[in-house]
Every structure is written in C-alpha cells, then in structure tokens.
Amino acid sequence: MSGLVVVGNGMAGARLVSEVRARDGSLRVTVFGAEPWQPYNRVLLSNVVAGTMTPDQVRLLDRGWYADHSVTAVPGVEVTAIDRETRAVLTADGRREPYDVLVLATGSRPVVPPVPGADRAVAFRTLDDCGAILDAARTARRAAVVGGGLLGVEAARGLAGRGLPVTLLHRAGHLMDRQLDAEAGLVLEETLTELGVETRTGAVVTEILDGGVRLAGGGTVEADLVVLACGVRPVTGLARDAGLEVAHGVVVDDEMRTDDPSIFAIGECAEHAGTVYGLVAPVWEQAAVVADLVTGADKTSRYRGSRLVTRLKARNVELAAMGETHLTDDEAEIVRFSHRARGAYRKLVIREGRLVGAILLGETSAVGALTQLFDRGGPVPADRTGLLFPGVSGGVVVDSPVRMPDAAKVCQCNNVTKGQIRGCWESGARDVEAVAAATRATTGCGGCRDAVEGIVGWLCEQEGIPA
C-alpha cells in the first residue's frame, strides 16, 4: 500500500500528519517539505523578530517525533510534479513517491511589489526571512516596513521593540483596513506611535533604494532595512500543472477534496466555497476533517467554513477583530466606545439581534464572551454595555476564571474550553506548558496564553498549590 503523501510540511501539513497519527498508527505516511527546517509556527515569527521567542520555541514537531510515530519526513526537498495517472509525486532530487491519497498543503508565498529595487528588501514570511531581518537589524540605523496589514504591524512592532526606529508604510487610508474601521485604524496608529513606530498611510512605494524607499509624489523614507509585508498568494502551481481546478486557490469541496477524488488540499493553498483562509483556526479544522476521512475515523466529517477572529500578536498592543466590522449605522446596530488617549476602542456590530462583527483594541477582556456570541450566532443580551465592559451593568465577567463557564472557549485556534483545561489540570497538568502539551492551547496564534495562565493560576490557588 502506497499510503498517504503530504506535500508541504508547514503548519497545515504538520498538523494534518499529527491528526492522522492520533487516529491511525499504522497508515504509511510520507511528508515532503520544501524548507529545510522542521515545521514551525509561522504565526509566531513576529515574536522571533521582537526577541521574545527563539526559533526553537516556535517549532511544532521535532525530528524525534517523526521517528517515534513512524512518519517519513523529507525536509528540504521540493515536489515538482504530480503524476495523477500513476498516482505518484516527483521531486527535485529525482525521487518518485507513489500515493493512494495525496494532500496538498503547499501554503502561500509573499507578494513582492513590482517596483525597481524590490530585491533589496526582505520579505517577512519564513524562518530564513527572520534570520535575514535580524542580521540586518544589528547594523541598521532605521527600518521601513511596507504593508500595514496584520503582518506588517507585527513586524514593525517587533523591530521597534529592538530599539530600531521604524516607519510603517501603508497604501490604504488606515492600518489593517480589511479588519478595522477608520477610527480603530487611527487608534492603532496612535498606539504604535507611542511604541516607536511612525506610520504613513496613503503611501505608495515606487522604488526601493539602497538607503530607503521612494514614494509616489517624489518623497523618500530613509531606511537601511526594508521589510515587505504586502500580503501572500496561494502556491497553486503544482496543482495547476496537474490539471486540478484552481481559482485563487486550489478548489476543494466540503471534504477538502479537489476534483481528483484521491487528492485533497488544506491550508492557505486551498479555496473552499470561494474563500482562502489565512488564519490558524481554519487550518486546524480542515486538517481534522481530512484526517477523519483519510483514516476512516469519521466518514461523515465535513468542513463548513470558519468564522474568523483576527488577533494581533504584538507586545503592548492588544487587538481582536471578527466578522463584518465595516457595516454602517444604516446597515446594522453599532455600539462603540472610543478613548483615544488610552488607546482604547471597542465596537459591536449587531444585526437582527445577533453579533455579526466586533473590534476590541486596547484591553481585551471582553473578547471571550464576544467570540462565543459570534461563533454561536446566539442572541445578544439587552445590556450591550455589559458586553463591552465585563462586570459593568450585569455584564458577563469572562476574564475571571471563577465565573467563566466550563463551556467557554479559551483557545480559538484549537477549540479548547475552560472545562478541558480544568480537566487536564485535575489530571496533573499544573502549568501552562503541561496544559499546552495535553490540549494544544496556546500553540496556535498564542493569543490565549494569558487566559490559560489565569485559569491554571486560579486552579492552583484554590487548592493551595504553588503555580
């Protein structure tokens, strides 16, 4: 039996392999990775740039895991073609690997703007990119980050955290314009200014120079280090060359299956119902569905799409955004609070009595309750104030482990509830690392770490056990 072949050993491929092994210990599994590294958490690379984490701390699986679980891993080898007729993949080093089931987890590649001098900049996408950025940052006097989306904001904050003056350049009128409204973007900009990041919106880069960036209109920004965070594109060439249906991504159905029934696609290379997902939680959900189907653990398993919650992972910047954040007062009920002097902005978007969008910038203790409402589509309480300010006017206090219900979802990426954390603590996991090992909480975007620490600390306190 040829077994399962996975092309791509990044976050999606590594998660799929671990999900498969959790269900079936005998299926033959081979995984190819174009990068030479063992799989790592790409979401946490901004922490590596900031110096708050090391490359070893963002690893997902080590070499020993593959040997212990009878998985053949082939790092640093690119798959160059799929022979669908004979069911085999061909690699750059001349290997031919047969498959019964093939899963494409090829991810995405950074968008490099078509401007002169683009090769002088460093894209921010891989662990190698992090190394190049950190090497340059050691001698640079100033840095510029091109792109004010989620990744660009994280990169700029990380470099500023190292004491390097940073200018963040963004084409649109405000930062993170896909997730935030204009006022939230302005509050975020002011927060970043206090942390050492200068922001220029409406800035169109026309050339990257040896010592800076030229903008439309003739202005220049001085920079020894230029980092590109201009978005990503799904890697679809392998699928397209094999004759699979490709739109923006590799087109899949609810089983994450392509138009070839023996080939699946997951993660950032896959397009489901017209959407390509770039966040962690959808990738994990897709991997679980494919693992269910490939192993036969649950032949009814289906992926129905994801409700996205974007979390910004930058030191001293707390941000969560979900759903339809750009609706106006004419289209929905809008409840908002803004305190720019404190870097705080909170917004609820309610339609037909249901929460369809929210922005929390600044202190984000309300995010747990709002995410549950958003995920479940349940009716919004009459007391809107209590949703924005937990503990006020009878609002639900979700930041207190005492009153957080066991059903409350703590880790969105891995679908871990407070009850699961409590159960694993009662089984002997007495610190965050042990909880993470048992439940995978904190191993996605990392945004729930404080909440997990709070729950573990509270449980230890109740029993008089040092945390």
Cα–chain-centroid distance for residue 298?
Answer: 27
Query: Contact, 281 vs 306, CB < 8 A?
Result: yes
For 369-399, write each residue's pLDDT tens digit: 788 889 888 899 888 888 888 654 444 444 4
Return phi, psi of residue 437, to 5°. Answer: -65, -35
Instruction: Mark the ranges of the chain whose per-residue pLDDT is less than 70.
Output: 1, 313, 390-404, 462-467
What confidence score (pLDDT) does residue 242 get?
Answer: 98
CATH number for 316-399 (one of 3.40.50.170, 3.30.390.30, 3.90.550.10, 1.10.357.10): it is 3.30.390.30
Q: What is the pLDDT of residue 462?
A: 67
* pLDDT score recorded for residue 89: 98
CA Rg, the chain, in Å? Answer: 23
What pLDDT score was predicted for residue 395?
Answer: 41
The domain made up of 400-467 has a fold known as Arc Repressor Mutant, subunit A (1.10.10)
Angle between helices 418-426 and 449-462 (to 10 degrees): 50
Check residue 18 and give its pLDDT: 95
pLDDT of residue 398: 45
pLDDT for the residue numbered 393: 42
Query: How far, rounded to the nearest angstrom, does the alpha carbon of residue 424 sit from its chain's CA centroid?
Result: 25
For 238, the 3-state DSSP assignment is: helix
Could you tell me the two tokens for 20? 């498969």
Q: What are the pLDDT digits (tens) for 154-177?
A: 999 999 999 999 999 999 999 999
Cut 0.75: pTM above it: yes
pLDDT reported for residue 432: 84
HSE-CB at 32 with a 13 A cutoff on CA atoms is 25
Short-list 78, 74, 60, CA closest to 284: 60
Which overall architecture, per CATH, does domain 118-230 show? Answer: 3-Layer(bba) Sandwich (3.50)
Q: Residue 364 and residue 360: Cα distance in Å, rounded?
A: 6
At a CB cut-off of 8 Å and minimum separation 6, what does 307 contact?
Answer: 322, 323, 374, 375
CA distance 357 to 44: 25
Answer yes or no: same fold for 118-230 and 400-467. Answer: no
4-108+233-295 to CATH, choices 3.10.129.10, 3.50.50.60, 3.40.190.10, 3.40.50.300: 3.50.50.60
